[in-house]
Amino acid sequence: MILLDGKATALSIQNDLRLKIASSLANGFRPPGLVAVLVGEDPASHAYVRNKALACKNVGIYTEVQHEPGSIPEGQLIEIVQQHCERPEIDGIIVQLPLPKSIDPDNILNAILPTKDVDGFTVTNSGKLMLGMPTLAPATPLGIVRLLQHYQIATDGKHVVVVGRSRTVGTPVALILSQNSLYANATVTLCHSHTVDLRHYTQSADILIVAAGKHHLIAAADVKAGTVVIDVGIHAVSDSSKKMGFRYEGDVNFAEVAPLCSHITPVPGGVGPMTIAMLLSNTVDSYQHSLKQS
Ligand code: GUN
């Protein structure tokens, strides 16, 4: 079994980005800029945004985090997003999901200018992705594809089974891997909460991508020997032996499943760091596009 080391792969991507940015600064250009909008007090969202901001700082992306209370009216949040879009020194704007129930995420996400939509969640960029046009694509699916590529795991003609149909992971990764492009061409089955006999599908996967948000959904009996397993889930599980009082586990029961796999991502240290690396990569792409226009 080979561990797909997202942490190391992400670090090498971040090193390349750092060099790109340093060379741009040496040529007299401004640094790239990212604004992260964070609404409410969800501790996981706070941790994600903190990690994104830290990674930006490490590669030389100027970052602002705008934190607003969960009670903010939708209209006010839209105005905040629109104001950041008008700033020429800002290349990327993300709004951390989930948003409070009182806010329609589509209204907020579509207030982002598609050229600054480094999460790839706007209708425009989702539509371009669906049509196979060049665009800013969501970071987690990009991170998964990059990790497969890095470990030279072929996708062409393989059966990829995706569990979970979220807008952030499941739906876009199924789309990307089914397209007729260089690192895709898989036969993709997209399973979700209404799938009957999930095991029937997961057992036939060559590559199994689990993004269901359910702790230990996938056990040894769900996976055939030799499968490549990508675990997108992350759950804090109480553990008194840890300083923090908890440890992280995924949607896959790693201890049971790992011995069966040809490759598997650990949690933490698998998909998570790749998501952040691809967000930075999208921000630098958007930055370079903006410099070319000016
Ligand atoms: N919440 C979970 N994943 C993501 C992501 O990739 N981007 C944003 N903005 N929010 C998320």
The 3-state secondary structure of 70-137 reads CCCCHHHHHHHHHHHHCCCCCCEEEECCCCCCCCCHHHHHCCCCHHHCCCCCCHHHHHHHHCCCCCCC
d(CA 294, CA 12): 30
Phi-psi region of 213 (alpha: psi -120 to 50; beta: other; left: phi over 0): left
Q: Quick check: 80 and 68 in contact, CB under 8 A?
A: yes
From 116, 168, 281, give the residue whose CB has the most ligand 1 atoms within 8 Å, as the site to mutate. Answer: 168
Give the pLDDT score at 294: 84
- Report the 10 Å Cβ neighbour count for 84: 23
Catalytic-residue membership of 116: no
Task: Tell me if residue 229 falls in helix, strand or coil.
Answer: strand
Specify the pTM: 0.97
At 288, which helix (H) or strand (E)?
helix 271-293
**What dihedral do alpha carbons 279, 47, 21, 17 form, nearest 10°?**
-60
Residues of the chain whose pLDDT is less than 70? none
23 contact partners, CB below 8 Å, separation of at least 6: none
pLDDT in tens, 112-165: 999 999 999 999 999 999 999 999 999 999 999 999 999 999 999 999 999 999
Kindly list the strands in the beta sheet with 92-95, ordered across the sheet, starting from the edge strand earlier in the chain. Answer: 62-68, 33-39, 92-95
Task: Pick the residue whose CA is nearest to atom 11 on ligand 1.
Answer: 97
- 16 catalytic, yes or no? no
Query: Which listed residue (91, 116, 117, 119) is catalytic?
Result: 119
Specify whether 96 is catalytic: yes
Among protein residues, the one whose CA lies closest to atom 8 of ligand 1: 96
Question: What value, to the nearest 5°, has the Cα angle with vertex 192 and ends 187 and 196?
Answer: 95
CB atoms within 10 A of CB 248: 17
DSSP type of residue 192: -
Q: Cβ < 6 Å from ligand 1: which residues?
A: 94-97, 119, 139-140, 168, 275
